[in-house]
Structures are given as structure tokens and as C-alpha cells.
Amino acid sequence: MAALALLLAALLALSAHAVLEVQVPEMPVVALYGQDAVLNCSFAPTGPFNLSDLSIFWQLTDTKRTVYSYWDGRDQLTDQVEGFANRTGLFHAELGSGNASLALRSVRIADDGSFTCFVRIEEYGSAAVLVQVAAPYSKPQVTSEPESNVRPGDVVTLSCMAHGGYPEAQVMWLDGGGRNLTDNVTVSQVANEEGLFSMRSVLTVMAEPNSMYNCTLVNPLLGAEGHASASITAPSVTGLNMVFPPVALWVTVGLAICLLGLLIALAVICGRKIKESCEEADKGEEGKELEEDESKTAMTPLKS
Ligand SMILES: *[C@@H]1O[C@H](CO)[C@@H](O)[C@H](O)[C@H]1NC(C)=O
Ligand SMILES: *[C@@H]1O[C@H](CO)[C@@H](O)[C@H](O)[C@H]1NC(C)=O
Ligand SMILES: *[C@@H]1O[C@H](CO)[C@@H](O)[C@H](O)[C@H]1NC(C)=O
Ligand SMILES: *[C@@H]1O[C@H](CO)[C@@H](O)[C@H](O)[C@H]1NC(C)=O
Ligand SMILES: *[C@@H]1O[C@H](CO)[C@@H](O)[C@H](O)[C@H]1NC(C)=O
Ligand SMILES: *[C@@H]1O[C@H](CO)[C@@H](O)[C@H](O)[C@H]1NC(C)=O
Ligand SMILES: *[C@@H]1O[C@H](CO)[C@@H](O)[C@H](O)[C@H]1NC(C)=O
């Protein structure tokens, strides 16, 4: 602990005359959540050197906390921040050829940030690598509220949702004509325990017949990730890409139902009329009827 502090103090004091050339990627390293990454760091020794004279320190640039250290020819991990234990390592076989890269396994959201690579062989040098953690979002889903019986002019709320991504997503809404609707949108992004975001973008529109709304999700590090759409077809709102029959068909169906109703009503009325006239006729021939009725009643058990 004390030795390390002294050593670091010495390194910092030396930094004014740092002459060892240390190189890291100029561009941020995009590391995928849950996967392994390599933070490249290479140094150019001026000549052959003994590994026991080599010191390597990886630190978090902001807090100066220890991610990994190596000196006296071996790993020195007593000071290592707990979150990096068992997830980090150097490529020991390549140290002699100037490769001080850090292997980082199972990348977490907390790894997002800057890491500094210090190298010393008599002379000293350092450089910082920026790590950007990225996680792809799930495929977006669009839902609408209300879901059905929407008439032109009604206010419809369309929600586009996706989860498990990082960093925060950008959402773009376009209508069927390609018009940008992004101005009338509210977005909320909530992080879970692992730091991954769930995104919900809500668009409020006045229902217009036969209109289409596309939600496109863009991850700033991974680019466009997916899109989903909803269509409003008066008098109903449908989910994904479902096509409803045109208005003309509904009118036809409606008319057919009316016609059917009319026919049934007619049939009932006619039936009653016929029955009534039959009864009147029956009254006229009551005498004969009685005999016939008796025979009918007698026949009935046989029928069933
Ligand atoms: C690390 O360095 C190696 C060799 O120079 C190169 O092939 C690789 O693309 C680098 N990786 C990153 C993430 O910069
Ligand atoms: C260092 O070595 C590792 C393992 O071979 C390799 O993946 C990495 O690209 C090397 N980095 C550089 C800067 O050469
Ligand atoms: C490297 O240094 C160690 C300790 O100073 C020494 O024992 C060893 O002989 C040296 N090796 C070489 C190849 O110089
Ligand atoms: C790292 O691994 C060692 C040995 O497997 C284990 O004892 C230790 O608890 C692990 N540390 C963490 C932080 O997981
Ligand atoms: C909306 O999305 C559908 C498919 O989901 C696509 O066919 C259509 O071209 C998109 N419209 C616009 C304006 O992006
Ligand atoms: C839509 O508008 C938003 C905000 O005004 C803007 O950031 C985005 O780039 C626009 N997209 C397109 C395709 O015009
Ligand atoms: C946004 O909403 C306002 C009023 O709510 C409306 O006048 C405007 O046309 C809407 N903009 C877009 C692009 O839909």
C-alpha cells in the first residue's frame, strides 16, 4: 500500500520528464455489455529490458482508483477495486514486446468511462483510453390507447417501448408521409439495477383516417436499431400492420344486417297473420275440428 503510494508519487513527479512512448486508441473503445473487451495500450521500449524492471498501472482516470497493477515481475492486486477482481488481466506473454493491454471480461455499465495506462521501465509514460459501453435495445413495440373504436378527430396516444439498452435511446416518429413528428413526443427512460434503460416514447395525435406512425429507435453508439409502426384506420386503430376492411365494406355489412332484420320481422308478422286467419277459419268449423283434434292427439304418441 505504502510502496504503491510512493511509487505513484514518484511516477507523478517524473511525469514532467516522461519519455516512454505509450499509445492507446485515439477513438473511444465501444465495449458491448456482457461481452469481453481489450483496452489496448502499447509502449515502445528503447531497447531490451528485464521484466522485473517493468511496472504497469491501470487506473480509473477520474478517481485514480486501481484497476490493475504489475511490478517486480508479477501482478500486484491487493489495491484492486473490488469491481474489477477476477474480470481483468494483462497479456503476460506479450509484455516483453510492449503490449500492456488490459483484458476486461463481462463488461458492465459501470465500466463506462476513462482508463489510464501507466508504464514505466526507468522512464515513464501514460495515456488514457475512453471506454463507451453499449447494449442493444429489444425490438421496439408500438401500442395505442384507445385500442379500438377510434373516430377521426379523436385523440390517440401511441407508445413506443423498448428495453435493456444503453446508453439512452433516441426515438424518432415519422408519419406515413415521412413527416417528422418528434416535436410532440415525451420520452421517459428508466434504468434497472444493472444500469440498462427501458425507454418509452409517447406520441399524442389526432386520429386521421388511414394514417401510419413509425417509431424508429436509435442507439447513439450502435446506430438505428429497429422500428415499429401503428396505423390508424377509421373507425378502428390496429396494432402492427394489420389491415382493416375499407369503410365501404362496413357499410355493405351494415346494410346486409338491416335487410336480414327486416326479413325476419316480416316473416314473424306474416306468420302471425297466417295463424290468425287459420284460427278464424277454425272457429267456423269447430264441430269437425273437435273430432280431428282427438284423432291428432291420439296420433301424437305414435309420432314421437
Ligand atoms: C488493439 O490492437 C490490435 C493490434 O494493434 C488491433 O488489431 C485491435 O483492433 C485493437 N483493438 C482495439 C479495440 O483498439
Ligand atoms: C495485445 O495482446 C492481445 C492478446 O494477444 C491482443 O488481443 C491485443 O490486440 C494486443 N494489443 C496490442 C496493442 O498489440
Ligand atoms: C532480471 O532482473 C532480475 C532481478 O533484478 C535478475 O535476477 C535477472 O537475472 C534479470 N534477468 C535478465 C535476463 O537480465
Ligand atoms: C475472485 O476469485 C477468487 C478465487 O476464485 C475468489 O476467492 C474471490 O472471492 C473472487 N472475487 C470476487 C470479487 O468475485
Ligand atoms: C413505416 O414502416 C413501414 C413498415 O414498418 C414501412 O413500410 C414504411 O415505409 C415506413 N414509413 C415511413 C414514412 O418511414
Ligand atoms: C426530427 O426532429 C427531431 C427534433 O426536432 C430531430 O432531432 C430529428 O433529427 C428529425 N429527424 C428527421 C428524420 O428529420
Ligand atoms: C403538435 O401539437 C400541436 C398542438 O398540440 C399541433 O398544433 C401541431 O400540429 C403538432 N405538430 C405535429 C408535428 O404534429
Confidence at residue 279, expressed as pLDDT on a 0 to 100 scale: 62
At the fourth CATH level, the homologous superfamily of domain 2-134 is Immunoglobulins (2.60.40.10)
Q: Is the CB of 76 under 6 A from ligand 5?
A: no
- Residue 53 Cα: closest atom of ligand 3: 2
In this prediction, residue 45 carries a pLDDT of: 87
Atom of ligand 5 nearest to the CA of 214: 1
* Distance between Cα 82 and ligand 4 center (Å): 9
- Ligand 4 proximity of 106 Cβ (cutoff 6 Å): no
User: How do the residues of the chain divide into helix, strand and coil, expressed in percent and rounded to 5?
Assistant: 30, 40, 30
Rounded to an integer, what distance in angstroms lies between the CA atom of residue 129 and that of residue 40?
Answer: 8
Q: pLDDT, tens digit, for every residue of 44-93?
A: 988 889 999 999 999 999 999 999 999 999 999 999 999 999 999 999 99
Which 3 state secondary structure label does DSSP give 271? helix
Global confidence as pTM: 0.71
pLDDT band at 299 (very low <50, low <70, confident <90, very high): very low
> Which own/partner contact pairs does 69-74 have at CB distance under 8 Å and 24+ positions apart?
69/4, 70/95, 71/7
Cα–ligand 3 centroid distance for 192 (angstroms): 51
Residue bearing the bigger pLDDT, 178 or 32: 32
- CA quadruple 5, 11, 14, 15: dihedral positive or negative? negative
pLDDT tens-digit series, residues 6-45: 555 555 554 545 579 999 999 999 999 999 999 999 999 8
Give residue-wise pLDDT tens across range 249-281: 565 556 666 577 777 777 776 677 766 765 665
Q: What is the C-alpha to C-alpha distance for residues 78 and 98, in angstroms, rounded to an integer?
A: 24
**From residue 18, how far is each of 10, 81, 122 by CA, in Å?**
12, 26, 10
Q: Residue 258 has what pLDDT?
A: 55
Q: Residue with C-alpha cell 503476460?
A: 92
Supply the DSSP string of 149-216, one letter for each residue: ---TT-EEEEEEEEEEEBSPPEEEEEETT--B-GGGEEEEEEE-TTS-EEEEEEEEEE--TTEEEEEE
Closest-approaching ligand to the CA atom of 173: 6
Name the CATH superfamily housing domain 141-240.
Answer: Immunoglobulins (2.60.40.10)
Q: Is the CB of 48 under 6 A from ligand 5?
A: no
Confidence check: pLDDT of 149 > 80 = no
Q: Where in the chain is the domain with CATH 2.60.40.10?
A: 2-134, 141-240
